[in-house]
């Protein structure tokens, strides 16, 4: 068994009940190989998954007040996908401390992404049982804080136009409108600029090599402004002028 004290130093968390840490690192293969009633980490994994979902949901809800259920759900899924959790596990070095069966060891279990992701969730469950929800929350937010900083353009990950429409239509049934502002450059290398409007106000602008790309970037710009400024939806002066002079994309 590897030194759990060194692992706890790396975690920045010292277990009151070190047995919980040991349990979080015990792979189910040990039980299958020994054909015994030895406990393994699957129950802790189940618990840790729930704790992780709740903490991240709470942070996303507070950090992105203008976004609806759809964008928030996508962001949470992005944060808790198995690849992401395996990477967190790898950074903590959980693989080298896993308790595996001989067969699992020989088959590369210490580097298997699914095993690492499971161990990370089990670790969260262990911390929750050891000292409570506050400790688990602090540990999780420390691990994910830099990722949250990268999600400031949250809904833009997959479908910015759809996410913008969802946010706007939560208050008014009117969908956003996209208008072509200008087309510049030679025929083989045109550059399009589009703006997005809602309720007679311009919300954002974007440029691209096609109208579709320009619209998408205009939506991203609008989403960024809506997230950073509660009054962004009320912009009207430039929007009305743009509506009168621009053509529909």
45 an active-site residue?
no
CATH class of 157-248: alpha beta
The CATH number, out of the four listed (1.10.1060.10, 1.10.1520.10, 1.10.3720.10, 3.65.10.10), of the domain defined by the range 4-151 = 1.10.1520.10
Q: Active-site residue among 45, 121, 215, 221? A: 121
121 an active-site residue?
yes
CB 41 within 8 A of CB 27: yes
Residues of the chain with CATH 1.10.1520.10: 4-151
Digitized pLDDT (tens) for each residue of the chain, 249 residues in all: 457 999 999 999 999 999 999 999 999 998 877 666 778 999 999 999 999 999 999 999 998 887 777 778 878 887 888 888 999 999 999 999 999 989 888 888 899 999 999 999 999 999 999 999 999 999 999 998 877 766 665 544 567 888 788 888 877 788 999 999 999 988 888 889 999 999 878 999 988 889 988 898 888 888 777 765 544 443 332 333 333 334 445
Q: b or e along 158-197 (b: 16 or more beta carbons within 10 Å of the residue's beta carbon)?
A: ebbbebbbbbbeeeeeeebbbbbbeeeeeeeeeebbbbbb
- 248: β partners: 179
Q: Active-site residue among 49, 130, 163, 215? A: 49
Residues of the chain with CATH 3.30.160.20: 157-248
- Whole-prediction pTM: 0.64
């Amino acid at each position: 068994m590897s030194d759990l004290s060194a692992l706890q130093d790396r975690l920045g968390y010292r277990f009151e009940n070190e047995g919980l840490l040991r349990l979080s690192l015990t792979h189910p293969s040990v039980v299958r190989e020994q054909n015994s009633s030895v406990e393994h980490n699957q129950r802790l994994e189940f618990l840790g998954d729930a704790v992780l979902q709740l903490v991240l949901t709470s942070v996303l809800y507070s950090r992105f007040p203008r976004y609806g259920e759809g964008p928030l759900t996508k962001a949470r899924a992005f944060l808790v996908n198995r690849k992401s959790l395996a990477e967190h596990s790898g950074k903590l070095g959980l693989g080298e401390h896993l308790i595996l069966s001989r067969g699992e060891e020989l088959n590369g279990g210490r580097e298997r992404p699914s095993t690492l992701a499971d161990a990370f969730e089990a670790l969260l469950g262990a911390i929750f049982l050891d000292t409570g929800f506050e400790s688990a929350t602090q540990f999780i937010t420390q691990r994910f804080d830099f990722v949250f900083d990268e999600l400031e353009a949250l809904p833009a990950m997959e479908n910015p136009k759809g996410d913008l429409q969802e946010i706007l239509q939560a208050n008014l049934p009117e969908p956003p409108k996209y208008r072509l502002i200008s087309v510049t450059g030679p025929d083989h290398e045109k550059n399009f600029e589009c703006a997005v409007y809602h309720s007679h106000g311009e919300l954002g602008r974007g440029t691209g090599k096609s109208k579709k790309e320009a619209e998408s970037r205009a939506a991203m710009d609008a989403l960024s402004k809506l997230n950073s400024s509660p009054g962004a939806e009320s912009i009207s002066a430039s929007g009305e002028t743009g509506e009168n002079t621009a053509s529909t994309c």
